[in-house]
Every structure is written in C-alpha cells, then in structure tokens.
Chains A and B, each alone.
Chain A
Amino acid sequence: MRGVFTVALAVAWRVLHNVFTTPTLLIPSLLFPLFFFTAFAGGLSRVSEVPGFDYEPGYTAFQFVFVLLQSAAFGGVFTGFGIARDFESGFARRLLLAAPRRGGIVLGYAMAAVVRWLVTASVLTVVALFAGVKVHGGAVDLFGLYGLALLVNVAALLWSAGVAMRFRTMQAGPVMQMPVFLVLFFAPVYVPLALLQGWIEAVASVNPATALLESGRSLLAGQPEHVPLAFALGGALILAFSAWAFRGLRRAEAAGG
C-alpha cells in the first residue's frame, strides 16, 4: 500500500507542478467556469420570473451550483487531457516502467484532479459571493454541496483516465469531453426539472446529473432533498469509472504504454 501512495504522490506532484507553472493549462480551467457563471447568471437572470420558478436563493445561486458541478466535472476532464498528453509524449511509458505499483498512477492523477479543482472552486466561490450569491444553507449543507462536487470531479477524472489510457492520444479529447458536456447540459441547467417539458424533461428525469444538481441546489437553499440518493449516485459513478480506469490501465500496460 505504501508503494501505491509513493507513486500516487509523485504523479500528483508532477501534474500539479505542470498545471500551476503553465499558464496555458491553468488559466482556461480557472476562466471557463467564471465565464459560464457570468454568462448564465448575468444574461439569464430574468428566467427567475418564469411562472413556477421558485428557487428561494435566486437565479445567481441557482446557476452557481450548476457551474460548481460543471467546474468539478471539467477539472477531471482537463486532468484527463494531461494523461493523454503523457501517453503521447512517451512519459507515461517511462512511468509504467518505473512505478512499482501502477495502481498509484491512477490514484495520483485523481489526487491532482481534486487539488486542481479545489483551487478552481475556491476562485469560483469567492467570485460568486462577490456577485451576490445568497447562501441559505448551513455549514453542513455546504459541506454536502462541495462533497457532491468532489465526487463529480473524481468520477469525471476516472472516466477521462479510462479513455486516455485506451486511446493514448490527445485526439481522444472530444471522446472525454463530449459525453460529460452532454450529461451536464441534459440536466435542468436553466430552470428546475418541474418546469422542463417534452423530450428534455424525459431525458433530464433519468439523467444522474439531475439528481446531483437538484440535490446540490437544495443544499445551497438550506432545504436538503434527495441528498442520500445523490451521494449514492456519485459513489456508484466512482465505482463504475474506477473499474473503467483500471481496465484502461491494464490495456495501456498490455500495449506497452
């Protein structure tokens, strides 16, 4: 087990060093959530006047929860891009040869994704508070909200790691990104689920992101709803994508990196 953590810490440190010393990697992951928050909360605030829209903390808070979860998911995906880059450059091949316990490689990337997202989430939260997000939930509720986002972050990283280790090229970027984008946007992004109609309502009702999003919003509003279900879904996603990522690692090993 000690070997796994030694490898994980080394991989995580390297990823974080790369990210935080390379502006082209750091800045987009910080700016994109802020941009979406600005565009949605700023441009669409009138949507809160739609009959039936009853989210008490207001539209800015309603969008903040979505952007927080989105930043978590894309934090995982962006770290997945880095894994693909490592394979493309040949670094991952050397890593596979050098690591005594290869499971630590996936763990290390996951740890890096979490730290990376925590930085993004901190910046986003500060900006959101300045923008007037009203927090009705208590400390436990907020802990739950950020905990949910953390699960999303790890699940997205494991999904992307599985893709990166199977394709081992940066060209797999859209394969990592597009499903995450679709799952997130086929949830009730702009209005609550109850106001959706037609095909989008049908899709959103069975989309796991809906439970995470609605639960997150309920936590920020201080009226928790379906929280155990959301955490169970988050945990299930992590379990499923862990299997996906570790099988990807085996594929990469078999292919010789």
Chain B
Amino acid sequence: MSGVRLLVGTRKGAFIMTADGKRDKWTISEPHFGGWELYHLKASPANPNRLYASQTSGWFGQIMQRSDDGGKTWEPIGNKFEYATVPGTHQWYDGTPHPWEFKRVWHIEPSLTDPDTVFAGVEDAALFRTTDAGQTWQEMPGLREHGSGSRWQPGAGGLCLHTIVLDPSNPQRMFIAISAAGAFRTDDGGKSWTPINQGLRSPHIPDPTADVGHCVHRIAMHRSRPQTLFMQKHWDVMRTDDAGNSWREVSGNLPTDFGFPIDVHAHEPETIFVVPIKSDSEHYPPEGKLRVYRSRTGGNEWEPLTNGLPQRDCYVNVLRDAMAVDSLDSCGVYFGTTGGQVYASPDGGEHWSAIARDLPAVLSVEVQTLATA
C-alpha cells in the first residue's frame, strides 16, 4: 500500500503528517522542536527514512537535525556554517555596503543519489554542502565569489539562497535562486556559476534588465525536462526552455502575477501551479479568495482551482517553500499557509481539503511518496 508523508516546517516547530494512498485520512505528529522556527525539512531521495531539518531561532541561532527513521527520532548534526573565504559586502536595504553574515539555513536539498550529501542554501546568501551526513558543512564559494556579490541586496526576508534545483540528467548542473540577486547555474558541480536572468524585467531595480538584482521567489523543474524551468518572480511568472539562458513571461491571464511558490505536476511537465497574491505590499490573496491557479499549457493560460478552498475573508499568504507535489498516479498537491492551514488535493488540484487548520504559520511543505504508508 502506498502512502505519503508531509514534512511541514512552521514558525513554532515541525509536524509530520501521514496518510495512505487515498490521502483522505491524515495523522499529525506532535510538534518536533517545539518553539523553534523550522525553515525547511527534506528527505533524501536515495533513502526515504533519512530526513534533514533546519531548526533556527533568533535567540540561539542555527541547529541542523537528521533523522534516520523517517522523522520519529532526530539527532542534532553539525551547525557550523563558516564562509570559506573573506565574505566581503553586499548591498544593504539602503544601498550601502553591508558585511556578509551567516544567519540561517533556508533550504535543504539532499543529493539525488547519496543520502550523506546535502546542499544547503543560507542567509546571507551562500551555498554549503555536506558529504558526511551533516556532521560538517563546507561552503561552495564559487557562487558568492561570482563577482556580482557586491550588487546583491536583501529582499524583505533577508539575502537568502532559498531555492536549489538539481538536474537529474547531469550531476554537474544545478540551479539556485537568491532574493534579491536572481537565478544562477553551475555546469561544473558548483565550482563556477553563471547568472541566468536574461529576459527578467524588474522595475524595482535601477536597471530593470540587469544581469543580477532580481527578486526570484522560486524555481521549479519537471525531472523529465531539465532544460525547462518555471519561475515565480517577485512579480511575473516566467519560463525557460534552454536551462535559463533566456526567460519569457507566461503570466498570461493570472489575476495577479505576484506570488511565492511554483510547482510542476509530477506526471505532466506542462502542468504548473501557482498561488497568486494580490501584491508585494499586501501579501494576501486577491478578493479574499484563496485560489491555486493551474496551467496545463506550460503557462499563459491559467484556470483557478477553488473547490474546497476558502472563497471569502481569506487573507493568508503561501510562502515560497510551502508547496509540494507527490508522485502517486493521481498527483497530490499540497500547500501550507501563514494562517497555519495545510491544504491537500489528491487529484491534481480539482478538490482540496484542509488537512490541518490550526498549526503555527507554515514556512515549508515537502512531501514524500512512500511504498508503504
């Protein structure tokens, strides 16, 4: 019997939610790491019982945790994130130089093949890697030293490296995104990086088409088409079909093209999901209606999915790491809100239900498709 396991990170702890393949009855764990901010939890694709979690606190800093039993028990692992070289400065909010300082781990991306190798995207923006299951972390400094770092600037959430996408067809290639620097690609396993922001247009920076400085919110890929990426930018939904060399806008008929998460259907590489948010100054859904928008044409033509979602008086946000899809035959789609709800659709977005209503504000949602529930 197949099943799914949701890894939900919140402002006050982590929750693990499980269901069988029907996905109609859910069990919610007690909070893990209660009172701490759990920016992200993610499982190794190579070992589904190996989980990693980023546990942070304004008081006590960064803790990393690892589980080898699917999240039942956890052990703290290495939490020393030191920049490999003199960090230098990036732009501060007022445009002045500001020293690079480690604050927290935003995103964890385990290797597709080795459970002991994990990439971590951090604030202030940099990419780290462990090859010993998290005991030690080393910066991959080629990204921060790309040469444009002095022009990177923090978004409202900080100067964070929040997205890491591994190319399943090429272990030397990966994509990352930073708010607010943009998207970057490596083709040599992380030694050197190229900004891949051609085609992006961001009126909030002095040169709207600059090579760096764009506030990219999220990038998603379907593993069968690693040349095609979808992007939710601060404003604009974009796509590339040449691994980021050029982007074009596919916002089409969306009611607003501001938002945070974007994801791709597990079995339909041209079916994508976004959650439109009214604006960057309001951060809630337009008209108080929580709607997931789905495009089955790889963008431009979008349809609202509302069945089971609140269609009045809803003013939550959905953050960039808070959407995921499972890979069961009928693709499940999941997202969490800043109001503490977790919504699930077992049928590609046609029908939704709240599988948790009263959690702390949700920061991240990941899902594992398991052979047994």
- Are A and B bound to each other? no
Chain A residues within CB distance 8 Å of chain B: none
Chain B residues within CB distance 8 Å of chain A: none
